[in-house]
Amino acid sequence: MKILTAVLLWAGAAICNATQSMILNVNNTQNQFVVTLPANPTTGFQWTIENYDKSFLKLLTSRYIAPNTKLIGAGGQMLFTFQLKAGASYPQSSSMLFKYARPWETNTGTMKKVTINFNNKGSVEKNN
């Protein structure tokens, strides 16, 4: 029984730390795009951005949108708005890494890899 419990705990920990992924297609003639992730801050968990390419992307805002329900503890969405830097060249794709964890539990959490596929490869023109 102890072995079964240990195996189940290990499997649960492996699932919690597994990297999930999503793909977002962005037309690079747009100035901005939004990455939307499910969130529930009432649990203490929050999304943080671990990595993204700052050479052509700029984080403009991050905000939580509460659910449209009166249910206590219901989750909502976290929105991260990025701006494509004007005049920059964009690769065919780029990856971002987000972490969903409690700030005081530094060795745990769920990683989310977001792959951005850029359409109409080129650069965004500067508007004067």
Average pLDDT, the chain: 83
Amino acid at 108: T
pLDDT in tens, 22-38: 999 998 788 999 999 99
* Whole-Å CA distances, 28 to 58, 86, 110: 14, 10, 29
CATH class as words, domain 19-119: mainly beta
Task: Supply the pTM of this predicted model.
Answer: 0.77
Task: Give the lowest-confidence range in 2-6, 57-61, 115-119.
Answer: 2-6
Instruction: Give the residue extent of every domain in the chain.
Output: 19-119
The reported pLDDT for the residue numbered 90 is: 86
Tokens standing for residue 48? 């943080």
Q: Which residue has the higher pLDDT, 75 or 124?
A: 75
